[in-house]
A and B are shown apart, each in its own frame.
Chain A
Amino acid sequence: MIQHIENPVVEVHDLMVSYGQNPVLWNVDLSLPAGSLVGILGPNGAGKSTLIKAIMGLVEANSGYSKLFDQELNQVRNKVSYVPQRESVDWDFPASALDIVMMGTYHHLGLLKRPGKKEKELAMDCLDKVNMKNFAGRQISELSGGQQQRVFIARALAQQAELYFMDEPFAGVDMSTEKALIELFREMTAEGKTVIVVHHDIYSAGKYFDWLIMLNMHLVASGPTAEVLTEELLTKTYGGKLSTLADLGEIIKKSGFNPLKD
């Protein structure tokens, strides 16, 4: 069940991505409505992170394209924010929580300009929104996993974007923080912003999200939560990979070159 909409905020057209020789996403084609809280669901290795990385231009697509606000990514970068997985960075980096959140203001600043008082106030506000104001001066390696995650989200807030892609923002976060974050995302979508979250708990997904994308290397479903959260689609998503896709992937892997790359 793949529902397309008019005037989407995100449009992905026939996107195909492989890592090296290994195809991870097959012909994903979807559109997402503005102002919604979107969950990306799927088992490990389903290509959830890859999908948002490909949309953000962080991994190269073999074919297909994506458009944000009906434009190329480069034209709307100021309106888009990306939250990488917490484990993707070395938290031993010499910086305070505030330093990291300030990074969210960098692309508005441009070259040569240093962040000043205005940026610092903005960063403090954002830390406050995720309940981390008291930890502003703390060295980031001394924060717990959940606190580090909140620092990342505060940094995204400091970007003052319209569209947010978050890669597993609830990993390592306790239940009450997760609830508070969902509350925050709800406030953001109520203001017309769009928040897209990689998630893997199907039980909470039903409660959290307006719209669900279900992935299992190919797109299983994309549509309003109430319509796509069905037994049948969940089985398709989580009930093992399509064996033909896996076999084809094996052949490509062994071929010594990648026929998908033209």
Chain B
Amino acid sequence: MEDFLYFFSFQDPNVLMVVIGISLLSISAAMVGTFTFLDKKALVGDAISHAVLPGVCLAFMFSGNKNPYWIVSGAFFTGALSTYVISWVARYTKLKEDTVIASVLSIFFGVGIVLMTQLQQTGNASLSGLDHFIFGNAISIVREDLWVYGALATCIIVVLLVFYKEFKVMVFNRSFAESIGLPVKRLDFVFNSLMVLAVVTGIQAIGVVLMAALLITPAAAAKFWTDRLSRLLFLAVLFSLISGISGAYISFSLPHMPTGPWVVVVLSIIAFLSFFFSTKKGILTRWVSRRKYQSKIHRDHILKALYQAEEHDKKGLPQKDIVDNFPGKVVKTHRTLRQLKKKGYITNDRELVALTSTGNSEAKRIVRLHRLWELYMTEYMNIAPDHVHESAEKFEHIITPELERQLDKSLNFPKEDPHQSIIPRDQNKP
């Protein structure tokens, strides 16, 4: 708790610096990443984040220290080289793009690891902390780093905001963008550079490999919550900020904890929560609506059984008969009967379950939809009357009032279904 207050009150200028740095880089990564994600270039982002490693090592070899200018230039050089190699090889060979990306990624990263091992064996004292560039260490950011990485991140954010609408058209519809005279090739170049830069800004704080996650995951998580680009960008930035700052805090409060993995852990939690609980497309939402639909089907079937009993001049059905009718669903049937009673659709004195007048008209509606659909299938789709029941069993639950009117109209308000059963209608409603 003390740590928490100390960290978030920003009384320590070093902490403030770290937070500013990580916020800027989270924002820029999430913004670039949103467009990368929408342009389906996630794999390229992954390749770049691996390909900056040899650049970092080369910069060490040349400069002999951790000067951020050298590091950034080296990382940018090999990162950019990898995108160039990917597009060149994909264009001039018959290899598919995913193959090319996977190979370029592993070759560059492999070279990077070789160089790094080589460097570590030299035992040069100024090279301690070189492995920070693999997993990231936000706390090791010093003032000079902040200037370099912060300036880069700010540049990225400004460029993206300036070309917002241009990138939007280009990602959605490239040929249209070209047709209105946008310089798509130059914009491509700008965007690829931004992508490399976004990775480069994160190498110190997050680490080379894990930057791929910070690019793509915020946008992927945000996509579960919205379907407007501006909101998508905002949410991606928000998710990224939350995970960036909490990652920095965790590596600050726990000794020897790298920042990158913790940022990714927090980010993954956000992504999983979005995946499960999103109100639009989340797994949970879909599961709930499926459950609702299934209970509606069960309810409809009970009402139908009661209605058919009435058609055979019975007053209702004994509760036991209804329960026996749905083997394996005893609990569910009891529950549904209670719900139906509560809603006023049925009366139930255990001996006899019977429809009320509201229940009767609801049951009629379901039977009507079933029989209308059966008739429609025989009349319009040339399906034999003994083949239509199965389909009608399914569609009686989903046909909307509008579709019902449409069916009624195209069948000219029929009286009987293909099996000569009456299509029931409420007398008071035409």
A residues near B (Cβ < 8 Å) are: 53, 56-58, 74, 77, 80-82, 84, 88-90, 93-96, 99-100, 103, 106-107, 109, 111-112, 114-115, 139, 141, 155, 159
Contacts and interface: CB of A to CB of B under 8 A. Distances in A.
Q: Which 7 A-B pairs have the closest CB atoms?
A: A82-B179, A107-B180, A77-B181, A139-B227, A94-B227, A93-B172, A94-B229
Contacts of A58: 175, 178-179
B342 interface: no
9 contacts: A58-B178, A82-B179, A88-B175, A90-B40, A93-B38, A94-B226, A95-B168, A96-B228, A103-B176
Contacts of A90: 40, 172
A32 B270 CA distance: 58
Given A94-B228, A95-B229, A84 B172 contact: no
Interface in B153-180: 162-163, 165-166, 168-169, 171-173, 175-176, 178-180
A81 B173 CA distance: 14
Interface string B81-108: 0000000000000000000000000000
Contact of A106 (B162, B180, B228, B232): B180
Contacts of A99: 228-229
B223 interface: yes
Nearest to B172: A93
A111 B159 CA distance: 12
A88 B179 CA distance: 14
B162 A112 contact: yes
Contacts of B182: 107
B180 A95 contact: no
B82 to A, nearest CB: 25
A84 B228 contact: no
A103 B172 contact: yes
Given A99-B229, A115-B165, A94 B38 contact: yes
A89 B173 contact: yes
Contacts of B179: 56-58, 77, 80-82, 84
Contacts of B232: 94
Contact of B228 (A57, A95, A109): A95
Contacts of A141: 227
A57 B181 CA distance: 10
Contacts of B180: 77, 106-107, 159
B169 A106 contact: yes
Contacts of A57: 178-179
Given A77-B181, A90-B40, 20 more contacts: A56-B179, A57-B178, A77-B179, A89-B173, A90-B172, A93-B171, A94-B38, A94-B227, A94-B229, A94-B231, A95-B168, A95-B229, A100-B172, A103-B168, A103-B173, A106-B165, A106-B169, A107-B182, A111-B162, A115-B165
A114 B166 CA distance: 11
Nearest to B184: A58
A84 to B, nearest CB: 5
Interface in B33-52: 38, 40
A86 to B, nearest CB: 10
Nearest to A77: B181
Given A95-B229, A96-B228, A112-B162, A107 B175 contact: no
A89 B178 contact: no
A53 B175 contact: yes
Contacts of A88: 173, 175
A112 B163 CA distance: 7
Contacts of B229: 93-95, 99
B27 to A, nearest CB: 19
A56 B177 CA distance: 11
Given A107-B180, A115-B165, A95 B172 contact: yes
A116 B344 CA distance: 54
B258 to A, nearest CB: 33
Given A93-B38, A111-B162, A103 B169 contact: yes
A82 B176 contact: yes
Contacts of A155: 176
A139 B229 CA distance: 11
Nearest to A115: B165
A200 B176 CA distance: 22
A112 B180 CA distance: 16
A139 B182 CA distance: 25
Interface in B15-38: 38
Nearest to A84: B175
Interface string B307-326: 00000000000000000000
Given A94-B227, A106-B169, A84 B176 contact: yes
Contacts of B163: 111
A53 B178 CA distance: 11
A81 B228 CA distance: 25
A74 B179 CA distance: 10
A94 B175 CA distance: 18
Contacts of A53: 175
B303 to A, nearest CB: 32
